[in-house]
Amino acid sequence: MKSAIEELESKGRAAKAAAHRLANLSTDIKNKALQNISRLLITNKGEILAANKIDYQEAEASGMSAAMLDRLMLDESRLEAMAQDMLTIAALPDPVGEIFEMRTQPNGLQIGKKRVPLGVIGAIYESRPNVTVDISALCLKSGNAVILRGGKEAVRSSGALTGVVREAAVSAGIPDGAVQFLENTDRSLVDHMLKMSHVIDLIIPRGGAGLIKSVTENARMPVVSGGIGVCHTFVDASADVDQAVAIAYNAKVQRPTVCNALDTLLVHSRIAGRFLPMVAAEWAKAGVEIHGDKSVIGILETQSGLNLVPATEEDWGKEFLSLVAAIKVVNSLDEALEHIERYGSGHSEAILTEGYQAAMRFVNEVDAACVYVNASTRFTDGSQFGLGAEVGISTQKMHARGPLGLKELTTYKWIIFGSGQVRS
């Protein structure tokens, strides 16, 4: 292990040296790098897909689930989508160098803030190889170096993609060393990476709850974590029933395996009798299993074709990541707010209502990264929010909340232009 750790430290030094130069690179050079990545993803597709095929076959042979295999798999259309994403990020404004809140103090000092990169980002992720490209691109555009540690199952795919990214970056004039990749997926190297606070300014864990917990507990540098979404949608007494059915259907069914999908539906008792049979019938078509409280069971038990079981205490506050939803009937907006405060994970929460006061109270009082009125929580996403892409979704309150794009990979420094001022 000693030499592997030395190699990691050496990658860290290279990343730090590159970060120093990256911080003051022109937007033109950074955009050129992204355009090069876009092009090389297509021209090198043979090599990338061949590497991915080996990863895929090994993963399949080792018994990986179909859902995980789908995350791992690359094909031409996925590469083309990645190539297009690079151009989208290139077209976004460069956050670095923005000067803001500049003002002249009474003593003549000109004081303001200048937006600067964080430095070196560490990314620890699982089996989706596209994360390699997304995070590299967002880091480069925001002037940060990056050290990537992807999942073992995708190591060949991620290695091939990193090769493309590095070649594209260097040929555009990005300093060599800006994108580092750990080919060695030994677990102890992750442990060491989490101690490298002398090099890494921010760690982003992207994956399941176990990975996030382990990184958060062990990292010696700041971590932006999240992704765990226990998402509630509250159907208020005054909701438009048809719209509410469509939104609840979309939030649960459109892509049930992701963090912004609906977990618990809270339904006002005055609308439950009308709304529940309708949503249950729609959900039944998609195979959704309903874990309902007593009131829900009372309303739905005679309806045929449902997959309906009584809810237990464990269902509240659970992230299902599958076609399962909990439903609870509440008697007031206050009861819904209390439930969300108690069981929510601070990710995405929605109210469906035609009542102005209820909408405003919900928006003002719910403490979560994203609070919706009359829309599906599935929109919590960097692209959907107009950030181009995201390195993750933060459910913490410090630094940045919700989808993390280019600006969230920066900080600022105060800059002060004087003319001989001293303090009295």
Residues engaged in binding a second copy (CB under 8 A): 20, 23-24, 103, 105, 109, 111, 114, 116, 118-119, 201-202, 222, 240, 243, 246-247, 249-251, 254, 341, 359, 363-365, 367-376, 378-380, 384-386, 396-399, 401-402, 411-424
Cα–Cα dist 231/295, whole Å: 21
Q: What is the CA radius of gyration of the chain?
A: 24
Shortest separation between residue 109's beta carbon and a second copy, angstroms: 6
Q: Hey, how many other C-beta atoms are within 10 angstroms of the C-beta on 62?
A: 8
List of E strands, 13-93: none
Asked if 200 and 122 touch (Cβ cutoff 8 Å), the reply is yes
| Residue 308, SS3 per DSSP | strand
Shortest separation between residue 400's beta carbon and a second copy, angstroms: 8
Residue 224 contacts by C-beta under 8 Å, 6 or more apart in sequence? Answer: 202, 203, 204, 392, 394, 396, 399, 400, 404, 408
Shortest separation between residue 380's beta carbon and a second copy, angstroms: 8
Nearest to 326 by CA among 265, 253, 249: 265
Shortest separation between residue 225's beta carbon and a second copy, angstroms: 11
Cα–Cα dist 103/405, whole Å: 28
Which is nearer to a second copy, 201 or 263 (by Cβ)?
201
Which is nearer to a second copy, 274 or 399 (by Cβ)?
399
Which is nearer to a second copy, 161 or 231 (by Cβ)?
231
Which is nearer to a second copy, 79 or 223 (by Cβ)?
223
Which is nearer to a second copy, 368 or 406 (by Cβ)?
368
Cα–Cα dist 84/34, whole Å: 10
Shortest separation between residue 154's beta carbon and a second copy, angstroms: 26
Which is nearer to a second copy, 65 or 419 (by Cβ)?
419
Strand partners, 328: 266
Shortest separation between residue 228's beta carbon and a second copy, angstroms: 15
Give the β-pairing of 202-206 and 231-235: unpaired
Shortest separation between residue 287's beta carbon and a second copy, angstroms: 19
Which is nearer to a second copy, 39 or 407 (by Cβ)?
407
